[in-house]
Amino acid sequence: MPSSLGLAVALLVSFVSAVSSCTQQEKGYLLQFHAAMASPRLAELVSSRSIAVLDVSFNRLTGALRELPPSPAPGRPLQVLDISSNLFAGDFPSWKAMENMIALNASNNSFAGPIPTHFCDSSPSLAVLDLSRNKFSGGIPQALGDCSMLRVLNAGYNNLRGTLPDELFNATSLEHLSFRDNELHGVLDEAHVINLRNLVTLNLGRNNFSGRIPDSIGELKRMEAAYFDQNIMSGELPAALSNCTYLVTVDLKINVFSGELSKFNFSNLPNLKTFDLMDNNFTGTIPESIYSCSNLTALRLSANNLHGQLLPRISDLKHLTFLSLSVNSFKNITNALHILKNCRQLTILLIGKNFRGELMPEYERFDGFENLQVLDIGACQLLGKIPLWISKLAKLEMSRLSNNQLSGSIPDWIKALKYLFYLDISNNSLTGEIPTALMDMPMLKSEKTEAHLDPRVFKLPVYIGISRQYCKPIALPKVLDLGNNKFTGEIPVEIGRLKSLLSLNLSSNDLTGQIPQSICNLTRLLVLDLSNNNLTGAIPSALNSLHSLSAFNVSSNDLEGPIPSGG
């Protein structure tokens, strides 16, 4: 929530004066709150006759908050209370006498039990209420609907159950509303949604909401961000959504929305930057009108039932950095790459599981893709060779060409890709020896552990593999996966150079000879799979020194001798 505590920020100016009215000693105390003393002391501060703004966020304050005695005559002056990011627990007290409270941030503690119902009876001016990241349970209190001044309500990341109460939609001043990541269910009511005309962000992601997006959403003309992701919502994308012309972010991923996507008219959404429909049941082609959203930076249509070919107009999307079309039925990869290489800002391109059985394109001349860092063309059953144009992708860091039917050998130019740290060419029909060129790949040789990839390139969290796990870019490991091919010959001794490798898979090939001792130099390895080859000799005992190894497989070979223990 960008401007959420905007008001509070303004009030923080008065924080300075409020604090300076404390004694010097008290000021110091504010900064070094002693955990054990916290709760009683906090109650005193909250009840103080002079403090208007109290910010004790990001401390290690523990315990439960105490109830307060009745308010003194002119009322308590406290307007802004930020107790967020501490270790408070227990029920939230029913502080009945907080008549001047404007902003309360209790987020990121361990408060449990129901959300108190009193908030706006006792604090009629409450504008900002952040209860997110606690353990609140039970239903959403109807009384929140009485909060006529409430602009920000964030109760995300709790254990709330039940439906959105009808009364909630009486809080018509709401601009930012989030119940993300709870256990809420129910259908969004056409007639109620319309009341929240001031909404700028609506975040209902990661719950159990069902039913359609109501047409009345088109009346929420100020809406900039809508998150309905990870629910069980269905129906078409309502045409009315195109009336929300300020939309910047739309996230509908992981639902069961359906219908002909090309029926939706994107022409009225010039501000759209992020549009995520991953894992739904949309059909048809990519609507041409989407190419008019010239601000679009991240577009994900993966895991739907879309088909057709890309149109050249996609290169009108000058700011597009993230494009995922994976797991659909798109055709003509030659055409797709030819067009996409003109999206000059593109850094992440995920188009795997399409183009079934086509030929891996080669180009006479190839330019474009200047900024491409991640390329996934896995699971397309593509025929052909590892194409030369990949050598022109000077910024390439991760490449997945696995689960195709590529043949031929690994080209020597691979070592020219100086930023490549993740190469998965497993499950193809590649032949020849494992080239020593691979052992000269700069990123895999480098002693530096951290991957080079700038996390900011992931405009959207990337799901790698079928396990649908969130893959934090920062955690992307250095990987070399050549498994399930037809490689022959010995494992090169030079393998010992790939010091920063975390995962090495050479399984299911026709490799012969001994496991080279130098493999023991790969001290960072977490995964080593040499299974299903024709390797002979002993397992190097020095493998004991690979302390990080968590998966080790040398089965189905002709190895002999003792199995290394310890390590």
Q: How far apart are CA 51 and CA 78, in angstroms?
A: 6
Q: How far apart are CA 188 and CA 179, in angstroms?
A: 13
Q: How many CB atoms lie within 10 A of CB 156?
A: 25
- For the CB of residue 418, give the shortest distance to ligand NAG in the complex, in Å: 20
Closest approach, Cβ 320 to ligand NAG, in A, equals 13
* 268 vs 446, beta carbon nearer ligand NAG: 268
Cβ at position 394, least distance to ligand NAG in Å? 24
Name the residue nearer to ligand NAG (CB basis): 21 or 117. 117
Cross-strand partners of 250: 226, 275
Indicate the residue among 167 and 370 with the shorter CB distance to ligand NAG.
167
Q: How crowded is residue 437: how many other Cβ atoms within 10 Å of its Cβ?
A: 16
CA distances from 192 to 120, 189, 350, 351, 506 (A): 20, 5, 39, 40, 59
Q: Assess contact for 202 and 223: CB atoms under 8 A.
A: yes
* CA angle (238 as vertex; 214, 1 as ends), nearest 5: 70
Closer residue to ligand NAG, CB minimum distance, 105 or 500: 105
Beta strands at 232-235 and 208-211: parallel, antiparallel or unpaired: parallel
Residue 48 or 265 having the CB closest to ligand NAG: 265
Complex with ligand NAG: residue 267 or 548, whichever CB lies closer: 267
Q: What's the CA angle centered on 424, arms 419 and 414, to 5 degrees?
A: 45
196 in Cβ contact with 243 (< 8 Å):
no
Residue 93, beta-bridge partner list = none
Q: Which amino acid makes up residue 24?
A: Q
CB of 308 to ligand NAG, least distance (A): 10
Nearer to ligand NAG, 176 or 300 (CB): 176
Strands 110-113 and 183-187: unpaired
In this structure, the number of other CB atoms found within 10 A of the CB of residue 404 comes to 27
Give whichever of 398 and 522 is closer to ligand NAG, judged by the CB atom.
522
Which C-beta is closer to ligand NAG: that of 114 or that of 492? 492
Pairing of strands 322-324, 298-300: parallel
Q: Which is nearer to ligand NAG, 175 or 397 (CB)?
A: 175
3-state SS class at 286? coil
Rounded CA-CA distance 343/318 in Å is 6
In three-state form (DSSP H/G/I as H, E/B as E, the rest C), the secondary structure along 335-365 is: HHHHHHCCCCCCCEEECCCCCCCCECCCCCC
Q: How far apart are CA 171 and CA 165, in angstroms?
A: 11
Q: How far is the CB of 483 from ligand NAG (least distance, A)?
A: 9
Closest CB 358 distance from ligand NAG, rounded Å = 9
Closest approach, Cβ 272 to ligand NAG, in A, equals: 9
Provide the terminal-to-terminal Cα distance of the chain, rounded to the nearest Å.
48
Q: Which burial class, exposed, middle or buried, applies to 204 when counting CB atoms under 10 A from its CB (0-12, 13-18, 19+)?
A: buried
Task: In angstroms, give the least distance from the CB of 316 to ligand NAG.
Answer: 11
> What is the smallest separation between the CB atom of 74 and ligand NAG, expressed in angstroms?
28
Place of tokens 């890309």: 310
Q: How far apart are CA 474 and CA 454, in angstroms?
A: 8
Q: Which two tokens stand for residue 5?
A: 């505590």
Which one, 256 or 563, has the nearer CB to ligand NAG?
A: 256
Contact, 503 vs 479, CB < 8 A?
Answer: yes
The size of the chain, in residues, is 567
CB atoms within 10 A of CB 537: 13
Choice between 71 and 192, CB closer to ligand NAG? 192
In sequence order, the β-bridge partners of residue 62 are 87
Question: Cα separation of 88 and 108, whole Å?
Answer: 9
By beta-carbon proximity to ligand NAG, the closer residue of 125 and 243 is 243
CB of 136 to ligand NAG, least distance (A): 15
User: Residues near 422 by Cβ (< 8 Å), separated by ≥ 6?
Assistant: 397, 398, 399, 400, 451, 476, 477, 478, 479
Tell me the closest approach of the beta carbon of residue 24 to ligand NAG, in angstroms.
26
Residues contributing to the site for ligand NAG (CB under 6 A): 1, 4-5, 57, 84-85, 105, 107-108, 128, 130, 145, 152, 154, 166-167, 170, 183, 185, 208, 218, 239-240, 242-243, 256, 258, 265, 267-268, 270-271, 281, 283, 289, 294-295, 332, 334-335, 338, 381, 403-405, 427, 488, 496, 510, 512, 517-518, 521, 534
Q: Which is nearer to ligand NAG, 145 or 368 (CB)?
A: 145
